[in-house]
Amino acid sequence: MSQTRRLAAILAADVAGYSRLIGADEEGTLERLETLRRDLLDPKIAEYRGRLVKTTGDGLAQGGRAEEMIVGHERSES
């Protein structure tokens, strides 16, 4: 039996001050986080054929093919 190995890249993110923001304006904070994810993160995840692995209240984990994420990073730097 042949095994195929793939190199993967993982991004983990956290929202600084999440508890304070939620305490001050829960509904507004959740709306802003959803908007940021939908407008900024989701398109990049799709562009590099990644997938959202897990979300928590103030964090997320995303994985994708390392080759594509590295090329994308190099493109964004130039």
Q: Is residue 1 part of a domain?
A: no
pTM greater than 0.85 (yes/no): no
Q: Is residue 3 part of a domain?
A: no
**Domain, as residue range, for 73:** 9-77
Q: Is residue 34 part of a domain?
A: yes
Q: Is residue 71 part of a domain?
A: yes
Residues whose CB falls within 8 Å of the CB of residue 51, separated by 6 or more in sequence, listed in order: 45, 62, 63, 64
Q: Is residue 51 part of a domain?
A: yes
Count: domains in the chain: 1
Residue-wise pLDDT tens digits, 6-53: 777 787 888 889 899 999 999 999 999 989 989 998 998 888 888 887
pLDDT at 21: 92
Maximum C-alpha span of the chain = 56
Cβ proximity of 12 and 59 under 8 Å: yes
Q: Is residue 2 part of a domain?
A: no
